[in-house]
Amino acid sequence: MQPFPDSLTHLMRHVLKQHRREVDRLIHEYEVYPGQPPVLFRLCEQDGLSQRELAQRVRLTPATLTVMLTRMEKTGLVERRPDDRDQRISRVYMTAKGRAALDAVGGAIRSVEQRAFAGFLPEEQLLLRRLLMQMQHNLDTPDSLADE
């Protein structure tokens, strides 16, 4: 059954799709494709993660991440190098092009966020943040605990 067009679930899904589509449009010229920004953000936090660590942090299967990293290597955003101590481990590093692209991604996200929140009071933004965090907590909590 389709949710009603005026349901909160439908509205949230539509807003998130619009947000992602707009960010993807703005970052495409930097050869950053959908799904890749979280990889860049994690490498910015800690460059040189193993592929396994990176897959866990971006919540992707190792196989999916491998395909993504191959594409990102081809566009020059990242490079993989063997670990100094264990040649079986491949570490992922952001390139200079990746860092420049990350700056563009951050700018695109800020730009879309400014547009999305135009006309909102700071208090309204804080309230929305609190409500979304509560929703996230509710959904992260197993059903058996939520009923107590």
Question: Residues 8-48: pLDDT tens digits?
Answer: 888 899 999 999 999 999 998 899 998 999 999 999 999 99
Cα 70–Cα 75–Cα 78 angle in degrees, nearest 5: 65
8-state DSSP, 79 = E
User: Could you tell me which of 90, 77, 89 has the C-alpha nearest to residue 40?
Assistant: 77
The pTM of the full predicted model, rounded to 2 decimals, is 0.78
For residue 97, count other CB atoms closer than 10 A to its CB: 15
User: Domains in the chain and their CATH numbers?
Assistant: 8-141 (1.10.10.10)
Number of other residues whose CB lies within 10 A of the CB of residue 130: 10
